[in-house]
Chains A and B, each alone.
Chain A
Amino acid sequence: MSHGHAEVITTHEVHHDEHGAHHHHQSFITKYVFSQDHKIIAKQFLITGMIWAIIGGLMSVLFRLQLGYPDQTFPWLEDILGNWAKGGKITPENYYALVTMHGTILVFFVLTGGLSGTFANFLIPLQCGARDMASPMMNMLSYWFFFGGSIVMLSSLFIQTGPFSGGWTAYPPLSALGDASPGSKTGMDLWITAMAMFVVSSLLGGLNYVSTVLNLRTKGMSMTRLPLTIWALFFTAVLGILSFPVLLSGFILLLFDRHGGTSFYLSDIYIAATNQALPNEGGSAILFQHLFWFLGHPEVYIILLPAMGMASEILSVNSRKPIFGYMAMVGSLFAITILAFLVWAHHMFVTGLNPFLGSVFVLLTLLIAVPSAIKVFNWLTTIWKANIKFTPGMLFALGFVSLFISGGLTGIFLGNSTLDIHLHDTYFVIAHFHIVMGVSAFFGMFAGIYHWFPKMYGRYMNNTLAYIHFWVTLIGAYLIFWPMHYEGLAGMPRRYLDYSNWSSFNMFGDLNKFISTVAMIVFAIQLLFVFNFFYSIWKGRKVTTLNPWGATTLEWTTPIHPGHGNWEGEIPEVHRWAYDYSKDGRDFIPQTEPIGPNESKH
């Protein structure tokens, strides 16, 4: 009953402006563990995401070790991995398990849960001017479903048959038949369970984000006065709400195929391992691919849009200039959201899709270049002739733009179904999506962490470590993924354990060693970031002013250590958009300042 009481208090305070922040005493458990404060939940998502990023990143180091040095053995690998690396060499099954889990972890648990979970929770109430989310209770559940899903996914690493190993896309029949591979047994059941919990978490979070943005904005905060971060996080939530349920229906059918003997995805299968012909008939794996990619493509924008929004905000703040083309930015986010639902089949050009249908998807895919180019143009014009303050957040935002351009251009190659006949499933694809949605989304995330760290913890992160982190990561990312374009153009396929018996790719032997070495250095530098993050929480330089970056948005009007409820006293009223920088001879004008009588129009 006490729980119900707490909920009443919270909703009460959310809606009563005059009450201000929480005053009653809270125990450690309700304040830091089962917290309903959006800021604490954001930090929980962030730190869980960081732990996942270390695990997922370490996996990539392990399989890069195999790819760079396929002829060597590393006895210490057996010491730490046991059966995964018998005789100091990663076994083929576990190599596939590693790449599968690396993809699953990074795409879902880091760049979806860790990225939009963190910043949607943290920024939406603060920048919209709300005391908390529309439903703090659901918000808390969203984190704990994410946590539960994380535990289940993590546990699959420790079972005897290993985690799922059929690729992060979980295509049947590998995902549907336990006999197909070791990872398809219990590992796959845990994978589906974890993913189902992850979907529930995303939906609970997404519902909250959308209704908070639409319903709980402070007085004067019209939609067109919202910072672009909020627009981006809003569209991200819309994408998730409409696409994750479709993935869930795909998973439900998959579960029935696994355990109910149905034939939704299975047809005419003979399993060599058990020497057995299956009775399943009439199913098609293409059906799963449709259901999967109907989520899977919007998913890449779920990953990318928050980074775009945060980069827009950070570029504008540190250029001391208004964002160029605000409405064009909102319009292009909207266009990307719509197009995200209409391009999924470009992942299936060579899996048996009707070529005529393919040509429609080529057209729709290439259309995404238009809103993307608008955004890039506006970012560049925002920093054009600006007096840039090169804070760590700004550097990562600039790095994001650079990577988004580089990765976006190769998307034009891959969007063509005819070129895809040659390029599909090669390292060209690996290079493309790692740059455009992997590393660039990470850069958006780093930009956001460095920029909002003072608001999160009331301290700054160390700048010197941040600059080292930035330059090594940026240069390293290009050194890792740029050469992969050449390997891919030469036809080198992805997902292979060892290329050394394949004489046409022997010329890439040294290049692979080089890529692996850089990958290890870049991974080590991320640990420097993790150290900087945790060290700065307790030992960082203290924030002494309310508004350290001189930003216009509402989060900087809260106390340095905002309590649950964010503002003491009334929520400020908003009188202008979020981008009045260098206006009428002033460096910046906060959103809370009324329009003056002699003020020029922007």
Chain B
Amino acid sequence: MTEAVSTQRKKIHPHKFTLWVGIGSIIMMFAGLTSAYIVKGSMAGFTTMQMPKLFYYSTAVMLISSLTMQWALKSFKERGMQQYRRLLTLTMVLGFTFIAMQIIGFSQLWESGTRLKGSTGAGQFLYVIFGLHAVHVLGGVIALIVMFIKAFSARIRNYNSVPVEVMSTYWHFVDLLWVYLFVFFLFKL
């Protein structure tokens, strides 16, 4: 498939391109939500709360997983399949860890009295926006599981790097998206 594409014209692979356009679409969604926050945040009676400490650590987990993903892609391209499998697994575990930490962070917030019910405030936005981001990470983790099964399957020998590149681009995107959302809330809270 890669050679066929190269005969077509020296262009970005359609799947990678589709991913970039899809990323643009996801950005619009979060732009809509964060701009809604900006509009509401300036209104009277808007309540805020403390960012749970745990989210600092989940940021670190997310950033590290981005590194391991990049490293996995590099190993794949150099045909270091053993290393690739290890790093892919590590990325997947870090993804799971991130989602688990988000859930724990939410429950800490809930315990400290930030609820969905009642008058509007930063907490309601945080649950929705961070929750939606976690759903996008979960989508990435599911894709990682599929790649994990393919990487450990004895039957399939595939050295096409496009799926891995698409995966790593998406993973870096949810990482950057998290950094944006986290910094956004840090400034706003």
Contact = CB atoms under 8 A, between A and B. Distances in A.
Interface of A: 11-12, 15-17, 134-135, 138, 203, 206-208, 210-212, 214-216, 219, 241-246, 248-250, 252-253, 256, 260-264, 267, 279-284, 287, 290-291, 294
B1 A291 contact: no
Contacts of B15: 134-135
A260 B46 CA distance: 18
Contacts of B12: 215
A243 B25 CA distance: 8
A399 B189 CA distance: 56
A398 to B, nearest CB: 35
Given A12-B1, A211-B17, A282 B46 contact: yes
Given A256-B128, A281-B120, A245 B1 contact: no
A206 B31 CA distance: 19
Interface in B93-110: none
B36 A253 contact: yes
A256 to B, nearest CB: 6
Nearest to A138: B18
Contacts of A264: 36, 40, 120, 124
Interface in B36-56: 36, 39-40, 43, 45-46
Interface residues of B, number: 39
A16 B46 CA distance: 59
A292 to B, nearest CB: 11
B128 A294 contact: no
Contact of B33 (A15, A212, A249): A249
B116 A261 contact: yes
Contacts of A291: 32, 36
A137 to B, nearest CB: 11
Interface in B121-145: 121, 124, 128, 132
Contacts of B116: 256, 260-262
Interface in B1-34: 1, 4-5, 7-9, 11-12, 14-15, 17-18, 21-22, 24-26, 28-33
B125 to A, nearest CB: 8
A281 B128 contact: no
A241 B24 contact: yes
Contact of A15 (B8, B22, B24, B45): B8
Contacts of B8: 15, 216
- A206, A214, A249, A290 — most chain B CB neighbours (10 Å): A249
B117 interface: yes
B4 A15 contact: yes
B120 A283 contact: yes
28 contacts: A15-B5, A134-B17, A134-B18, A135-B18, A138-B18, A203-B22, A211-B14, A215-B12, A215-B17, A216-B8, A216-B14, A242-B28, A244-B25, A246-B32, A249-B29, A249-B32, A249-B33, A249-B36, A252-B132, A256-B128, A261-B116, A263-B119, A263-B124, A280-B119, A281-B118, A282-B40, A282-B119, A290-B39
A219 B9 CA distance: 8
A207 B5 contact: no
A294 B5 CA distance: 37
B21 A211 contact: yes
Given A249-B36, A264-B36, A207 B18 contact: yes
